[in-house]
Amino acid sequence: MTDRFISLLAMGGTISTAAAEDGAVPTRSADELAATLAGQTGIRVLPRDIERISSPAVTPLHMWELACAVREEIDGGAAGIVITHGTDTMEETTYALALLLETPVPVVLTGAMRPPHAPGHDGPGNLAAALATASEPGMAAYGPVVVQQDEVHAARWVTKLFSTRIAAFASPAAGPVALVSEGRVVPLLGPPPAIDRLGSVAPPTRRVELLWVAAGMDSLLVDALPDAVDALVVAGTGGGHVPPALARGLIDVVRGGRPVVLSSRCAAGEVLRSTYGGEGSERHLLSSGLVSAGSLSPLKARLRLLFGLSAGLEVDPIFAPEVV
Ligand code: ASP
């Protein structure tokens, strides 16, 4: 045993559930989760309860509060941070932490797909792999990561690809950045080239909505956009395209003074800049004032815009080509 310690912050999710008559709900504390690691490692684990909620209930404010808690733990001397969290929105919380935090030590999110009372519960294995990752100082350079099924995924690329399988997570654009084997971290890729952290940060106060584009969609919804909405992220088709009948409405939103960020609904790849012409093409939309999300997924572009605007940043620097 050394003086080094890892902070275990518990947010809830399937990893912390117990069976109940009307379905599994998060009940286990950080202490109980830490107990599942007993004797597995020489490093001290200090548990701390943050929330005990299912991850669909996690809001940007929870993400902000979690970032503050992580900062406190780092300032308090933690050599690494493990966060247990529901898998449904884990990619969003991980990316929010990448926006909000400097990570001089590893910050690792993990969870479980199968509850503790189900055969093949994956919580203890994921937690042990997360602890191994958080104990490896070199992983700090990757920023916040997700560890599931012995794979380490970077915040910018990770997504929950399957709704039920235990191998639910993937990074379609790049693959995992490392593997965990026999309790050791085996790097595969270097850290992502772009820095996700925002130039300044603040609690979330702005409202950014997400519009998923489908064939035949027109401007019905965007023409009725409530005043409460500060900005919009559009998940366009392919390289960043929308039906002609929707393009007009989106451009009206921009002309009305509200930012519209253009991303792709594809699982990986960039928004094009200069390939297609015509109404609703990427050239038409970008030259009409929409801003490209680059290679960020719609979910992550929304958080980037939401936290960036909340911190008083302008939309163009938030999505500068060198950071997206
Ligand atoms: N519904 C759960 C949650 O995200 C699923 C999970 O944890 O895997 O909290």
Same-domain pairing of 158 and 276: no
User: What does the pLDDT read at residue 2?
Assistant: 62
Same-domain pairing of 148 and 33: yes
Residue reference for tokens 């794979």: 151
Percentage, residues of the chain above pLDDT 70: 99
Q: What average pLDDT score do residues 33-54 get?
A: 91
Same-domain pairing of 155 and 215: no
Same-domain pairing of 126 and 59: yes
- Catalytic residue list contains 133: no
Residue nearest to atom 3 of ligand 1 (CA): 86
Same-domain pairing of 279 and 310: yes
Same-domain pairing of 180 and 223: no
Count Cβ atoms within 10 A of the Cβ of residue 226 and give its class: 0-12 exposed, 13-18 middle, 19 or more buried: exposed
**How far apart are the CA of 202 and the centre of ligand 1, in A?**
27
Question: What 3-state class would DSSP assign to 129?
Answer: helix
Q: Which of 2, 14, 17, 27 is catalytic?
A: 14
CATH assignment at residue 141: 3.40.50.1170
Q: Write the pLDDT tens digit of every residue in 136-159.
A: 999 999 999 999 999 999 999 999
Q: Which two tokens stand for residue 315?
A: 């939309």
Q: Give how far the C-alpha of residue 84 lies from the chain's centroid of Cα atoms, to the nearest Å.
A: 14
Whether 93 is in the pocket of ligand 1, judged by its Cβ within 6 Å, is no
User: What does the pLDDT read at residue 19?
Assistant: 86
Residue 191 sits at φ, ψ, to 5 deg, of -60, 155
Greatest pairwise CA separation for the chain in angstroms: 65
Residue 100 structural domain:
5-187
Whether 87 is in the pocket of ligand 1, judged by its Cβ within 6 Å, is yes
Same-domain pairing of 153 and 116: yes
Band the pLDDT of 3: cuts 50, 70, 90: confident
Task: Say whether pLDDT at 301 is over 80.
Answer: yes
Whether 17 is in the pocket of ligand 1, judged by its Cβ within 6 Å, is no
Q: Which of 27, 28, 52, 54 gets mutated to test ligand 1 (max ligand atoms within 8 A of its CB)? A: 54
* Residues 73, 32 contacting (CB under 8 angstroms): no
Same-domain pairing of 177 and 265: no
Total of domains in the chain: 2
Within a 10 A sphere around the Cβ of 212, how many other Cβ atoms?
11
Residue nearest to atom 7 of ligand 1 (CA): 86
Q: Write the pLDDT tens digit of every residue in 231-269.
A: 999 999 999 999 999 999 999 999 999 999 999 999 999
Same-domain pairing of 76 and 217: no
Band the pLDDT of 30: cuts 50, 70, 90: very high
Task: Say whether pLDDT at 1 is over 80.
Answer: no
Q: Write the pLDDT tens digit of every residue in 268-293.
A: 999 999 999 999 999 999 999 999 99
User: What does the pLDDT read at residue 310?
Assistant: 98
Task: Say whether pLDDT at 77 is over 80.
Answer: yes
- Classify residue 122: in a domain, yes or no: yes
Same-domain pairing of 274 and 165: no
Q: Is the backbone of residue 312 left (phi > 0), alpha (psi -120 to 50) or beta?
A: left
CATH assignment at residue 311: 3.40.50.40
- Is the pTM value of this prediction over 0.95? yes
**Cα(52)–Cα(41) distance, rounded to whole angstroms?**
25
User: What does the pLDDT read at residue 37?
Assistant: 87
Percentage, residues of the chain above pLDDT 90: 94
Q: What average pLDDT score do residues 40-45 get?
A: 84
Alpha helix locations (H) across the chain? 30-35, 60-75, 90-100, 123-134, 220-223, 244-255, 282-287, 298-310, 315-318
* Residues 133, 76 contacting (CB under 8 angstroms): no
For the chain, what's the residue count?
324
Of the ranges 30-39, 69-78, 117-126, 307-316, which one carries the lowest mean pLDDT score? 30-39
Shortest-distance atom of ligand 1 to CA 57: 9
- Classify residue 142: in a domain, yes or no: yes
Alpha helix locations (H) across 135-219? none
Shortest-distance atom of ligand 1 to CA 112: 8
* Residues 86, 111 contacting (CB under 8 angstroms): yes
> Can you spell out the DSSP letters for 61-104?
HHHHHHHHHHHHHHHTT-SEEEEE--STTHHHHHHHHHHH---S
Same-domain pairing of 116 and 214: no
